[in-house]
Amino acid sequence: MKKILTLMVCAMLFLTSSFGFAFARDVYVTKKGKKYHVEDCRWIQKRETIKMSEEEAVKKGYKPCGCVKKADQDGAEKME
């Protein structure tokens, strides 16, 4: 039974790491913000932003803005 559990954990780790490519895009953070944004987010249009990779933003503790989730959805299926 333990073996199966270990295998499942390994499989999950593998899946998680294979999703790493999703972090390849660049995102934008504001100087005081705690979230990161995609390029066309309205929130950052009139603000000074710092560009970094999504991976870097996540490592620094930034959380995705709603626009990031929307961009993910748009990628899967076009809305509107």
Q: What's the closest the beta carbon of residue 13 comes to Zn ion, in angstroms?
A: 30
Six-digit token string for 80: 């509107």
Sign of CA dihedral 42, 25, 55, 23: positive
Binding mask 27-46 for Zn ion (x = CB under 5 A): ----------x---x-x---
Burial of residue 12 (CB within 10 Å: 0-12, 13-18, 19+) is exposed
Q: Does 49 bind Zn ion (CB under 5 A)?
A: no
Q: Does 64 bind Zn ion (CB under 5 A)?
A: no
Residues in touch with Zn ion (CB under 5 A): 37, 41, 43, 65, 67
